[in-house]
Amino acid sequence: MDMIIGIVSDTHDNLHGWNSALEIFQREKVELILHCGDILEAHAKAESSLCRAMNSSPIPVLAVRGNVDANDHVALLNFPVVPLVLVQDGPNRIIAVHGNLLADKASAYRQATSLSARFLVRGHTHIPEIERKNGVYLLNPGSAGSPRGFSQASVMVLSPERIKLIALHSGEIIKDEPLY
């Protein structure tokens, strides 16, 4: 890995969550943000403050479409919002999906393996996860907008040496794992 990548998901039109994530990403010197979907809400307005904030991000953003991201909403964003994002960082291939179409972890690992990915990043569950199996990492940053089954909103930072899970509002490092 050469880049430092910020991973965020499930903001659900939460401007405060996005701003907190961006603050952490800037502090961590993130070079690219991957958003794993559910950027807005079904009821989001065209004048969404979150759209404006994301469109003016000083860090480039790539995003996947979540199950609540409607066409008219994602059209307001000035960066790609697609079903799957593939980032090639040196020898490392990173695949980002929302996760709602993955039945279970086994299917997530199969998808990563079929695409020769070292990392499969997903959202949807709102529950953070760092897992490694047969050299493939399955990552979920949790939710920046409405955490479930976990006490706090969170994001991830993937760097050449490690993966950090960071609490959104306190900035506390919840988990810090070296890459193998």
pTM (whole model) above 0.85 = yes
pLDDT number for residue 43: 73
What is the domain extent for residue 41?
A: 5-178
**Which tens digits make up the pLDDT trace of 110-160?**
989 999 999 999 999 999 999 999 999 999 999 999 888 777 999 999 999
What CATH number does residue 110 fall under?
A: 3.60.21.10
The number of domains in the chain is 1
Strand blocks (E) in the chain: 5-8, 32-35, 61-64, 81-82, 85-89, 92-96, 119-121, 129-133, 136-140, 154-158, 162-167, 173-178
